[in-house]
Chain A
Amino acid sequence: MEQPQRLCKGGAQAVVNLQPNSSISVAYHPLFGPHNDLILLELDEKLLPDVLHQRVSLRGQPDEDAVLCTQSKTYAIKFVGTSNSVFLIPPSDESALHENARDSNEKDHDQQDVASVIKVAPGNMELVEVAPRLDKLKMLLSENPYKSDEVFEVDELEGMEKNKISLFKWDDLTDRVQASDDELRSGLHSLSAVEIDGYWRIVDEKYMDMILNMLLHNSVLNDWSLYALNENEVVGVLESDGFPPKLALHCLQNYGSKVDKGVGNSCIWSLDEKRLCVHFAREILRRGKMKMESFMEEWTQKIPEGIQASFDMLEGEVLTERLGVEMWVRAFSLSSLPSSPAERFSMLFRERPKWEWKDLQPYIKDLRVPGLSSEGLLLKYTRRTQPTLDAEPVFSAR
């Protein structure tokens, strides 16, 4: 430890390497005490390189239970107490060894190895892999979505100052969100967040709708194929329509994927049919629930020419229910649901007390709990009833 002491001679090395037919005295260290700043952390061997190469950190706000994050995973930290007496013996430090060497030259008669106990450990910390706490990310970014009016108010200092309050840079997010870097990145991706002027933002849906409609409008005007959009061309035209290039590009990323490096330095993008169809269904159902027939009519009308919409695409986005003879449809989006299983199921059963498997499955298939299978999840959070053997099983709250 800090102060070289004669008692340090021997230390942990002497205990670990105690030779046959020999003994060592175990004593309280001159600095013996509670030493609450010394923590024992039990660690999987496979995580050791991450820790030793300084790739892990603890994340959490003062009011949250800290988690440990590696590059790709998140672990809850649990304290496991013990009723045993765990004597913790540090290695003797080198200066102490030298001192002892000198001492023993002077008077070698009373020299005996001593292992000194610095503290009695009350237990140790354990790591349990957990799902990243990404709901908070959604909450933080939803506080201040990027809206169309922001495009015009960049010069208004006052407005900026006010809005900065709920704007987050990458480091602000790692400070606040209990997720590893990789999980945070994929969380930002699944929220369709975009980095604008260094801040991570989600874009207001109405504004996204404006950009997308403008893009589709332009593709008709300019005779572009939705499956081969030239990035530079699209971004250029949208910019002349008043949309920032970053947002135009974000629109391509959100509703399409890069297919080709393309010609020159421009990329070629292909729009994704399903994502387009889902977008328009959401836009229509924003107004509330609709009769199936009128929904289908309006939906197919809105969808750009050449794209075939099928109702299956809306899995995890809408619920249908029969009221009398009519079939009704309304928005119920997976992305609006919490990601923790307990909260997810409670939300689902508040929505509907009874679920058939085919309806339920789209809303729970993304749930991943380390160490629990999807059957285990169902057992834990639902009650399964099957009136007759050939009937569809029905799931209700436990």
Chain B
Amino acid sequence: MQIRVKCSCGQGNCPEWAIVELQGMVEAQPSFKGQLQNLEIGQLCRPSAQENYTFTVGYHELTGSKVPLKKPLLVLKKMSHMEADQSSDLKSSRVELEVIGIIRHRILFKTRPKALISRPQPVVKERVSVQGSIVPNQLA
């Protein structure tokens, strides 16, 4: 079997995707479990001209920076084309991979979160876990 890797964007025109990466997990409050669509995760902020960023999730702030990837990442999308086989009733599907984007940078947060305000906090269950208090997005 041969799967062609297709690309309709051509060199130089590949849409750039972005990655925001942090250690551990973001957990939504239990009431939003399974209904994450449109929920706001946090605010990404670039406080100065340097490539330093903060990411505020709930009452926590992460500090990180924009890192160029050593090697680019391609975003591939698996496409299945159903083909009616003339010789039989069986439908065979032909799979193709389409290049739909490229990633050259990520904004990486590798520090532990800092509490923004002091107020009684529930005990954080996991050490690496960013206890995200996610509020429903206003627009949703």
A residues in contact (CB < 8 Å) with B? 6-7, 11-13, 15-16, 18-32, 36-45, 48-49, 51-54, 56-62, 66, 68, 83-91, 110, 114-115, 117, 121, 124, 174-175
Contact = CB atoms under 8 A, between A and B. Distances in A.
Given A7-B38, A51-B99, A57-B5, A88 B19 contact: yes
Nearest to A56: B5
24 contacts: A6-B139, A16-B16, A18-B53, A20-B46, A23-B46, A24-B43, A24-B44, A25-B137, A26-B42, A27-B40, A27-B137, A28-B41, A29-B37, A32-B36, A36-B78, A37-B77, A38-B75, A38-B77, A53-B11, A83-B24, A85-B21, A85-B22, A87-B21, A110-B138
Interface stretch (B84-92, B101-109, B117-125): B101-109
B108 to A, nearest CB: 8
Contact of A175 (B1, B74, B77, B79): B1
Q: Binding site of B, secondary structure by majority: helix, strand, loop or mixed?
A: strand
Contact of A43 (B1, B4, B72, B79): B72
A30 to B, nearest CB: 5
Contacts of B69: 42
A299 to B, nearest CB: 45
Interface of B: 1-7, 9-11, 14-26, 36-50, 53, 55, 69, 71-79, 97, 99, 101, 103, 105-107, 137-140
B75 to A, nearest CB: 6
Given A39-B97, A85-B24, A19 B16 contact: no
Given A25-B43, A89-B20, 7 more contacts: A16-B16, A21-B46, A26-B40, A38-B75, A52-B14, A84-B23, A89-B19
A26 B139 contact: no
